[in-house]
Structure 1
Amino acid sequence: MKRIAVWALMAALMAGLVLSAGCAKKAVPGPGETLSAEEQAKLKAEEERRLREARLREQQARQGETSLRELFANQDVHFNYDSYDLSTEAKQILNDKANYMQSHPGLTVIIEGNCDERGSNSYNMALGEKRALACQAYLEAMGIEANRMETVSYGEEKPLVMGVTEEAYAANRRVHFVIK
């Protein structure tokens, strides 16, 4: 019986030693001590991985900013025929533009008013100006300073789509934003 108890005690002690040895952590080198080549390689690899991840996050942020900037510049506000009234959709686009401009306080823009080819040249120049001014007034009401925006009318002179279809006319009745 004593032998069994001794063997059980020895087995328990051995198991404890094996478990504690398996869980032991490497000691951090003290002053004057150096890391092994393997430990140095692991540290270097970990630092390189962190740098790659940081560069990737930075690149993704830049790409995201580029995408937002392109969306700002490429999303036009469209108008109904012979109108400079802002639709619900136009106001949403302008809200997005106001948010972008508020988060980029140094940004200035040119607001370009455009028309389709119907109507006289002088009438379309005036209508294009009214469309650009309507967008500027809305952005000012959203808190964007007037000195960050300038307006210009191109009337029918810069069509986006060539043609004499209703789709071409609708595409050309717009205000376009150019980042300065």
Structure 2
Amino acid sequence: MRDPMPPLLTHHEHHPGATVITLAGEIDLASAPGLHRFIAQVRRRPDDHLIFDMAAVTFMDSMGLRVLLEAFTVAERHGGAIHLAALNGPPARLVTITRLGERVHLHDNTGQALAAVAAAAAGEIGDLPGDGSANDGSTDDGPVNGGPVNGGPVNGGPVNGGPVNGGPVNGGPVNGGSANGGSSRAASG
């Protein structure tokens, strides 16, 4: 008998103008409905930026992609945005192949994503970096659109070997703890 698939572990932390959602495990047909519900529960406002910390996501299929696209649609409709941080392995390849990175913001880690959201909120930059617009100052060779996903540190470097920044997922709790008013739980179908 085959062992049941491990649950997708989820955790969130609220920050000014953004919610960081840390994921660990596989985002697939079995876990996507639970992730969809989790996003709906933890999103404070439709215009909040959602930052998905993907460092510990080992697999994502089309159902996971659909959940991210649905979150993108809500955010875009209300003036928010979706940020994917620390993509690696198969999820990074899926984002590259499907060109999802042209619609969402890609970052090497959650700290960069939070800094981008804070800078945009403070009016320090016109648009978030890497949004693909002609006036954002980014190029396809930069760290947001071309670096980490298309041949940078995520696909060929230190991130590919496992979690980054010293802990299970950026040093923060994944399961069994909370930080900044967040919570941890396993998403289920």
TM-score range relative to shorter protein: under 0.3
Q: Which has the higher helix share?
A: 1
- Higher percent of residues as strand: 2
- Higher CA-based Rg: 1
What TM-score, normalized by structure 2, do the two folds share?
0.27
TM-score by structure 1 length? 0.28
